[in-house]
Amino acid sequence: MKKGKAMNNYRALVFFDLDGTLLDAESTISKENHQAILQLKKNNILPLIASGRSPKEIQQITKGVAIDSYVSLNGQFNVVENEVVSKHAIPLKQIQELMALSESFGHSLACYTETEYAACYSTASMEKLYRLDHAPLPKISAEFHKDHEIYMVYLFSEDEEKDSLYREKFADIFTFFRDSPYSMAVVSKGQSKKAGIQEIIKTLDLAHVPTYAFGDGNNDLGMFEAVNTAIAMDNASPHVKSHADYITKSHLEDGICFGLKHFELLD
Same domain, 147 and 180: yes
Same domain, 104 and 184: yes
Same domain, 109 and 157: yes
Q: What is the pLDDT of residues 104-153, one digit of tens each?
A: 999 999 999 999 999 999 999 999 999 988 888 999 999 999 999 999 99
Active-site positions? 17
Q: What is the pLDDT of residues 60-72, one digit of tens each?
A: 999 999 999 999 9
Q: What is the pLDDT of residues 220-257, one digit of tens each?
A: 999 999 999 999 999 999 999 999 999 999 999 999 99
Give the residue-averaged pLDDT of 153-165.
Answer: 97
For 30, half-sphere exposure in the C-beta direction (CA atoms, 13 angstrom radius) is 17
Q: How far apart are CA 227 and CA 14, in angstroms?
A: 9
- Note down the domain range covering 244: 5-87+192-262
Domains in the chain, number: 2
Q: How far apart are CA 200 and CA 14, in angstroms?
A: 12
pLDDT value at residue 9:
85
Q: How confident is the model at residue 267 (pLDDT cuts 50, 70, 90)?
A: confident
pLDDT value at residue 5:
42
With a cut of 60, say whether residue 4 has pLDDT above it. Answer: no
pLDDT value at residue 8:
63
Mean pLDDT of the chain: 93
In a domain, 267, yes or no: no
Same domain, 143 and 215: no
In a domain, 206, yes or no: yes
Last residue of a domain, one of 159, 188, 217: 188
pLDDT value at residue 87:
94
CATH number, domain of 26, equals 3.40.50.1000
Q: How confident is the model at residue 179 (pLDDT cuts 50, 70, 90)?
A: confident
Same domain, 100 and 165: yes
In a domain, 253, yes or no: yes
In a domain, 133, yes or no: yes
pLDDT value at residue 260:
98
With a cut of 50, say whether residue 1 has pLDDT above it. Answer: no
Last residue of a domain, one of 188, 218, 234: 188
Last residue of a domain, one of 188, 218, 238: 188
Window from 3-7, 10-14, 168-172 with minimum mean pLDDT: 3-7
Same domain, 184 and 197: no
CATH number, domain of 184, equals 3.30.1240.10
Q: In sequence order, what DSSP letters do the residues of the chain get, joined into one string?
A: ----HHHHT-SEEEEE-IIIIIB-TTSSB-HHHHHHHHHHHHTTEEEEEE-SS-HHHHHHHTTTSS---EEEGGGTEEEETTEEEEE-PPPHHHHHHHHHHHHHTT--EEEE-SS-EEESS--HHHHHHHHHTT-PPPEE-SSHHHHS---EEEEE---GGGHHHHHHHTTTTEEEEEEETTEEEEEETT-SHHHHHHHHHHHTT-TTS-EEEEE-SGGGHHHHHHSSEEEE-TTS-HHHHTT-SEE---TTTTHHHHHHHHTT---
Same domain, 121 and 180: yes
Same domain, 15 and 147: no
pLDDT top residue among 49 and 9: 49
Same domain, 238 and 111: no
Same domain, 183 and 197: no
pLDDT value at residue 52:
86
Q: What is the pLDDT of residues 36-45, one digit of tens each?
A: 999 999 999 9
Same domain, 110 and 139: yes
In a domain, 121, yes or no: yes
In a domain, 199, yes or no: yes
Same domain, 21 and 139: no
